[in-house]
Structure formats: structure tokens, C-alpha cells
Chain A
């Protein structure tokens, strides 16, 4: 089974702190994603990476950055945490080529619930 592991289930940080959220996948997937989940808004894409050291902004990148130094690991960084970044953060991965019948299936971690006080 594909496994996507997020390092923390719950985090509590203070405003202005630098926060690192870590995600590791064990299936050699090329693509990795960070989403933010908020009630009534569904999941919104923050950043994604399609290869080591490669990244692209998603729909809501402001206030976030990412790092992908190794294929299996994708980190989300909050440079200076703010209260409006209190949310559930979900990491996902997918292989680049899934064939015609399995187009773009993504595999998710359990999520990190971040509270910024």
C-alpha cells in the first residue's frame, strides 16, 4: 500500500514563529502536493512539486514556501505563522504516469492540524 506520512498530527505554534510541516511518501512518486482544508472551502492547493527541487505555486501560496531536496520528502514552511494559517494541512502524492485508467489518483496523509495562537 502507498503510505504518505505527515510528521505531526497536531501542532500548536505562536504568531511569528517559523513552522515546518514534513511529509514523506514511500512509493517513489514524482508528484507531491500540499493542500489546506478549511470548513466549507474544501481543499485548496498551496504548492506542488513534480520533481526534486522543482515546485509550482498553487491557488493560495501567500505566506508559505516549500522544499523538496529528496524525492520522498516534501516540506511546507510557514515563514512567520499568523492566526489565519490555523487550519488542517494535507499532503498528497501521485506518480507521474498512471496510465489511462488511473488518471491522477492522489494518495493522502492523515493531516496535520495546526493552531497558531
Chain B
């Protein structure tokens, strides 16, 4: 079945550092890919998405590119802020499945 693998956390960075959170997936067909973010005490919010190979999703300075050849969708940001501290989930929407398949989540802590 479908699966998503994310890098283990927590990730601790200083403000203005570069961020990469790795995400790889296994799925048949052509899934859509998502990054969701969960701020402390809140539910999940969609951060960005990509629906086909080579698409780049972007939002709030975050980017991720759908790489079918490496089955990856790594999340990147050039300069993180304290307000980016949250848990980040990579997810996919597989063919014929209404629900999303999530990775285990990566906690990001940004220190001033």
C-alpha cells in the first residue's frame, strides 16, 4: 500500500538558518503530495501541495518540488523564523483513496 517516510525529528535550528525536511513516498500511479503544518495546540493546516511531477508548491517562504524519479517531496525554506516552530507532516493522496496517507511528522524548533 501507500506509505510516506519523513526524517526523524526534532530538528533544532537557529533563526535565519536553512531548513530541509526530507520526505519520500511509495505509491502506485500518480499521487498528489502535500505538506501540512501543526502549530502548538492547533489542528493541521495545509502548507503547500503539488499534483503532478515537477510541480513546485510554495507558501510562506516554504517550497517543495514533486520529484517522481526519486519519489521525493522535500520541504525547504531559506531562512526560518521562530514562528515556524511546529510539527510538519508530509502526506499523499493516492489513486482511488479518499483519505490521505501521512508521514510520522517532524518537529521543528527554531531558537532566537
Mark contacts of A77-117 with chain B using CB atoms, 8 A cut-off: 1 yes-contact digit, 0 otherwise: 00000000000001010100000111111111111000000
**A45 with B99: CB separation less than 8 A:** yes
Q: CB within 8 A of B102: which of A31, A42, A110?
A: A42
Chain B residues touching A, majority SS: strand
Could you say which residues of chain A place their CB within 8 Å of the CB of B51?
Answer: 100-101, 103
Q: CB within 8 A of A104: which of B4, B98, B105?
A: B98
Give min CB distance, A10 to chain B, whole Å.
Answer: 11
Mark contacts of B41-53 with chain A using CB atoms, 8 A cut-off: 1 yes-contact digit, 0 otherwise: 1111110010100
Interface size on A, residues (CB 8 A): 28
CA distance A106 to B103 in the complex (A): 15
Binding site for B on A (CB under 8 A): 4, 31, 33, 35, 40-45, 48, 50, 58, 90, 92, 94, 100-111
Inter-chain pairs besides A4-B43, A104-B32, 16 sampled, C-beta below 8 Å? A40-B104, A42-B4, A42-B6, A42-B104, A43-B102, A44-B102, A45-B99, A48-B98, A90-B43, A103-B32, A103-B93, A105-B34, A106-B46, A106-B100, A108-B36, A111-B43
